[in-house]
Amino acid sequence: GQNIDQPTEMTATEGAIVQINCTYQTSGFNGLFWYQQHAGEAPTFLSYNVLDGLEEKGRFSSFLSRSKGYSYLLLKELQMKDSASYLCAPGSTLGRLYFGRGTQLTVWP
Amino acid sequence: SQTIHQWPATLVQPVGSPLSLECTVEGTSNPNLYWYRQAAGRGLQLLFYSVGIGQISSEVPQNLSASRPQDRQFILSSKKLLLSDSGFYLCAWSSLGQGAGNTIYFGEGSWLTVV
């Protein structure tokens, strides 16, 4: 089974930095995925962490601590277009991918 | 490059009517295929998962079914829709294997409203 917990909503202003946390419990853990979903659209892949530590990809970074069952997504230099839902998803060796309920981020001018 | 398409994009169906959503993947062989549903204000729920032709795993008991008649074709069906079946249905695929190769890529989605 799986248990995924992330905040429901967050707000920030343009140019700021925001950190979205995710804690999880899952069977057969096989890396941690983050997806972005704009309203009315399908989710798109953002990042994948399989080892502990920070992975940086432009304005977005993702961190993983496997021993703590914890990950975060860090968004820098926020832009209005970053307003979206961010989904945390622990991968499974069973091949299935289960998603958290998502964190709705609103970026204000 | 790989692409995934699903249709129809939008449909309005009466309660008790049948449903058929279709999804095809191009540019890859023997993908894992998935059907997810996202009800209004809720998270993504995994409905079905397939690792090969005719191999379907159901995650949630319900009045929906899935079939995989061909390697890159995945179909979601219902004989009689319920109001609670309304939602955003997403087909997705991933490569066989572990790690980042298991990244899931989604189709455009199908909006179903049961009235």
Q: pLDDT tens, A31-90?
A: 899 999 999 999 999 999 999 999 999 999 999 999 999 999 999 999 999 999 999 999
List, edge to edge, every strand of the sheet that includes A60-65: A2-5, A18-26, A70-75, A60-65, A53-57
Q: Between A102 and B96, name the one with better pLDDT.
A: A102
A29 reaches B (C-beta below 8 A): no
What rounded mean pLDDT belongs to chain B? 91
Q: What percent of chain B has pLDDT over 70?
A: 94
Q: Is the pLDDT of residue B96 over 70?
A: no
| pLDDT value of residue A28 | 78
Candidate from A6-15, A41-50, A90-99, B53-62 with smallest mean pLDDT: A90-99
pLDDT greater than 60 at residue B98: no
Residue B101 has pLDDT above 60, yes or no: no
For chain B, what's the residue count?
A: 115
> Does the structure show a pLDDT above 90 at B103?
no
- Residue among B85, B89, B96 nearest B33 (CA): B96
Among the partner residues B32, B49, B105, nearest to A45 by beta-carbon distance: B105
Edge-first strand order for the sheet with A103-108 is: A9-13, A103-108, A84-92, A29-37, A44-49
**Of chain B residues 20-79, which have a CB less than 8 A from chain A?**
32, 34, 36, 42-44, 46, 49, 51, 59
The yes-or-no verdict on residue B75 having pLDDT over 90 is: yes
Count CB atoms within 10 A of the CB of residue B79: 11
Which positions in chain A touch B105 (Cβ < 8 Å)?
Answer: 45
CB distance B105 to B58 below 8 Å:
no
With contacts defined as CB-CB under 8 Å, which chain B residues touch A93?
98
pLDDT at B24: 97
Of A42, A48, A96, the CB nearest to B107: A42
Neighbours of A15 (CB within 10 A): 11
- Looking up tokens 């066989």, which residue turns up? B96
Phi, psi of B17 (to 5 degrees): -85, 160
Closest by Cα among A54, A73, A86, A94 to B98: A94
Q: Is the pLDDT of residue A30 over 70?
A: yes
User: Which amino acid, B85?
Assistant: D
CA nearest neighbour of A84 among A46, A33, A47, A58? A46
| Host H or E run for residue B70 | strand B64-70
Q: So what's the pLDDT on residue B43?
A: 87
Cβ-Cβ contacts under 8 Å for A61 (sequence gap 6 or more): A47, A54, A55, A73, A74, A76
The answer to whether the CB atoms of B42 and A50 lie below 8 A apart is no
Mean pLDDT value across residues B86-104: 81
Residue B70 has pLDDT above 90, yes or no: yes
CA atoms within 13 A on the CB side of A68: 11
